Amino acid sequence: MRGRDRFHKFKTVLDIVIRILRLFPRPALKYAWTLTDLLPDTAGVAMRYCLLKCLTLSCGDNVFVGRSVEIKYWERLRIGSNVSIHKQCYLDACGEIQIDDEVSIAHQSSLISFQHSWEDESLPIRDNPVVCSKIHIHRDVWIGCGCRVLAGASIGSRSIVAAGAVVTRPVPSMTVAAGVPAKIIKSIRKEGHYERSVGT
């Protein structure tokens, strides 16, 4: 049985759990998130989904999150449906992160929506203000393991980011990006297929 089939089978139960969890304060829910790593696989996935529904700005259906995923600024994170975020990923949504439907993010990847500034020479770089910029992962994107998607980056629909890449700028739709910094190495567009802009 596929994950989305299992989700729809147990959706009623999950909705009840979500309604109960919403009675608890946010700090308690965030603490509960750290405890889900102790649960068996299926129970842990189910509980993390329910907590996402309570803590994020928005969360769709059938969202898989693996163990040891760390999230900062939950209230600025949007997640679509049929999304998978695998173990040991790190998401800092200081500048907002939007992940659309049908996205897969492999293990040990990071999405960091802020960067340090350094213009004020009277202060150490670490004490300069941070600059927050939105990250947008469009529909049907696969991000390989160990990738870094940095502030202001967007990844167009039906694109692939190769393992270990560092994305610092927009990636067009239907392309493969790889390297440090990430560059377009291949188009996966079929002849005659209409190109949509990254912003659509």
Catalytic positions, written as ranges: 116
Q: Which two tokens stand for residue 51?
A: 């907590």
* Unique residue bearing structure tokens 């089939």: 5
Q: Sign of the C-alpha dihedral, residues 65, 69, 74, 77?
A: negative
Angstrom distance (rounded) from CA 153 to CA 110: 12
Count the alpha carbons within 13 Å of 62 in the hemisphere toward its beta carbon: 16
For the chain, the residue count is 200
63 and 56 in contact (C-beta within 8 Å)? no
Angstrom distance (rounded) from CA 94 to CA 80: 18
